[in-house]
Amino acid sequence: MALTTDRLGLATLRRLPAQCRPLLRPGTVPAGIVHLGLGAFHRAHQAVHTEAAVGAAGGDWGIIGIAPRSTAVVDALAGQDHLFSVTTLAAEGAATRVVGALAGVRHAASDPQAVVRLLADPAIRVVTLTVTEKAYQLDPVTGTLRTDPELIADLTTDRAPRTVPGLLLRGLLARAAADAGPVALVSCDNLPANGRRLRGLIGQVLARARVPDGPAGWIDAHVGFPGTMVDRIVPAATAATLDTARRALGVRDLAAVAAEPYSQWVIEDDFPAGRPAWERAGATLTGDAGPWERLKLRTLNGVHSATAYLGALAGAETVAETLALPGLDAVLRRLVAEDVAPSFTPPSGVSVPAYGEQVLARFANPAIRHRTLQIAMDGSQKLPQRILHTIVDLRAAGRSAHWAALVVAAWLRFVRGHADDGRPLPLDDPLADRLRTALTAVPDTPAGVVDAVFAVGEVFPAALAADEEVRADVVGWLTALERHGVRATLAGAR
Ligand code: CS2
């Protein structure tokens, strides 16, 4: 039997270079948080802020991380005592550090009851979520609960829950039955008014599952839903990410992630049973995260999606590569200054164009290889809060939305499935079938495509779909993209 291992874990911590060691040693901080969604973003964001908060101010705030579906991340973390590293990638160089925030991991799909028990545990006082937009199972435009058969089965039968809303329902019912004390449910997904969305989701779930007044009233009285704005660019980990971590640590880390240096977290301070001292770890605690969340979704994520669709169509693999397309810079700046900035009121003291400049500098980080196709995924779930709300608000104020219309056109061309050089593009989207069906029955012209997709009411608000000026702008851009391609369209954009 080998006595030494080359894998990250408690046994190898002492071998790590001093600057790579974690602030906390797993096993020493009891769990107070359950986190749903163990992806790269959580590991590089909430886990890092929480470790720093506990390091600075203490508290029983270890995190039990739940992977809804992936077994790979659970196996990787379980095999290394829940330790993982984050490599911060700056143009000047990389720095790797191990994070000790996780107190445990679980796989929801194979052991949903363990998750339900955790949600009903009085020691757990905060439940955070990074499960992606689509897992909320809400219609992006209206916030109405979907009728997905898996979800309905979770809400109307006794079977073990398979969906995120199903897990939350069972967990909250078990918590109410045990009278296990108040808890905060904290959405950290890029949804508009994410706290209110999650509250709306739980309300609809309780109604759909016909939960009696007793437990429903308990949940209403004991669960808080603080809204948040989360921000850090964390591309999916690749073999290169693992190689970099190994070189820095001297041991293998199969759960390594890499991220940009920037990290921001704005949190509404509505925690009925306490929280880590995140303000000691760089987070902003506030009464209303709304202005921050609109700033970030419309500027950063709006420009990200614009870059992703235009880049994918032009054959660019990464965001940084896309930014080198001649003319794109100018178009993105006009999108921010002329369309995004006048569409909403930013947090006091924040200039949207200046924030936009900072965003473009972050996107240009050459050390981050963020794939356009990763960001292009799930467009139907992202476009409303990133671009369409901007258009609706501009139009309500009597303004045009010319540059935002280009983003819609780029998405439509992406949905059509071919890049400028004819190569197929994948449509990875929960509404893929619905979009494809909408497109089969129409004349194969830009106007036909726009009319067909604008009629998809889950994505396009009625006010926008009925707006002749917006329609004409989108048809104009789509015509240019289809006839001349992204490069020529950008070169001639005005
Ligand atoms: C990206 C985001 O994949 C995407 O859709 O726009 O994940 C983005 O990187 C983060 O929101 C940055 O905070």
207 touches 167 (CB < 8 A) = no
Tell me how far apart the alpha carbons of residues 341 and 20 are, in angstroms, rounded to a whole number.
41
- The CA-based diameter of the chain, rounded to the nearest angstrom, is 74
pLDDT at 392 over 50: yes
Q: Whose CA is closest to atom 3 on ligand 1?
A: 375
SS3 293: helix
461 touches 388 (CB < 8 A) = yes
Q: What is the DSSP string of 217-256?
A: HHHHHHEE---EEEE---PPP-HHHHHHHHHHHSSB-TT-
CB atoms within 10 A of CB 203: 14
Q: How remote is the CA of residue 231 from the centroid of ligand 1, in Å?
A: 8
Q: Which two tokens stand for residue 81?
A: 């005592």
Cβ-based neighbours of 415, under 8 Å, separated by 6 or more: 379, 427, 429, 435, 439, 453
Q: Which atom of ligand 1 is nearest to the CA of 304?
A: 6
- Determine the residue of 190, 299, 369 to mutate for testing ligand 1's pocket, defined as the one with the most ligand atoms within 8 A of the Cβ atom: 190
Q: How remote is the CA of residue 302 from the centroid of ligand 1, in Å?
A: 10
Q: Which atom of ligand 1 is nearest to the CA of 234?
A: 9
What number is the average pLDDT over the span 363-383?
A: 97
pLDDT band at 128 (very low <50, low <70, confident <90, very high): very high
Tell me how far apart the alpha carbons of residues 417 and 244 are, in angstroms, rounded to a whole number.
34
CB atoms within 10 A of CB 123: 15
Q: Which two tokens stand for residue 175?
A: 């918590």
Tell me how far apart the alpha carbons of residues 427 and 434 are, in angstroms, rounded to a whole number.
12
Q: How remote is the CA of residue 300 from the centroid of ligand 1, in Å?
A: 8
Q: Which two tokens stand for residue 56?
A: 């600075």
SS3 33: strand
- Determine the residue of 234, 292, 298, 301 to mutate for testing ligand 1's pocket, defined as the one with the most ligand atoms within 8 A of the Cβ atom: 301
Q: pTM of the prediction?
A: 0.97
Tell me how far apart the alpha carbons of residues 238 and 245 are, in angstroms, rounded to a whole number.
11
pLDDT at 419 over 80: yes
Long-range contacts of 112-118 (CB under 8 A, 24+ apart): 112/160, 112/161, 112/162, 112/167, 112/170, 113/160, 115/34, 115/66, 115/167, 115/171, 116/161, 116/167, 116/170, 116/171, 116/174, 117/174, 118/34, 118/64, 118/66, 118/171
Ligand 1 binding pocket (C-beta < 6 A) is: 190, 231-233, 301, 304, 374-375, 382
Q: How remote is the CA of residue 93 from the centroid of ligand 1, in Å?
A: 22
Q: Which atom of ligand 1 is nearest to the CA of 41?
A: 7
Tell me how far apart the alpha carbons of residues 67 and 81 are, in angstroms, rounded to a whole number.
16
Tell me how far apart the alpha carbons of residues 180 and 255 are, in angstroms, rounded to a whole number.
33
Q: Whose CA is closest to atom 9 on ligand 1?
A: 233
CA-wise closest residue to 13 among 118, 128, 100, 103:
100
Q: What is the pLDDT of residues 283-319, one digit of tens each?
A: 999 999 999 999 999 999 999 999 999 999 999 999 9
Q: Whose CA is closest to atom 4 on ligand 1?
A: 375
- Position 109: which residue type? A
- Domain segments of the chain as ranges: 10-285, 290-491
Q: What is the pLDDT of residues 199-254, one digit of tens each?
A: 999 999 999 999 999 999 999 999 999 999 999 999 999 999 999 999 999 999 99
Q: How remote is the CA of residue 233 from the centroid of ligand 1, in Å?
A: 6
Q: How remote is the CA of residue 139 from the centroid of ligand 1, in Å?
A: 20
SS3 354: helix
Domain at 10-285, CATH homologous superfamily: NAD(P)-binding Rossmann-like Domain (3.40.50.720)
Q: Is 3.40.50.300 the CATH number for 290-491?
A: no
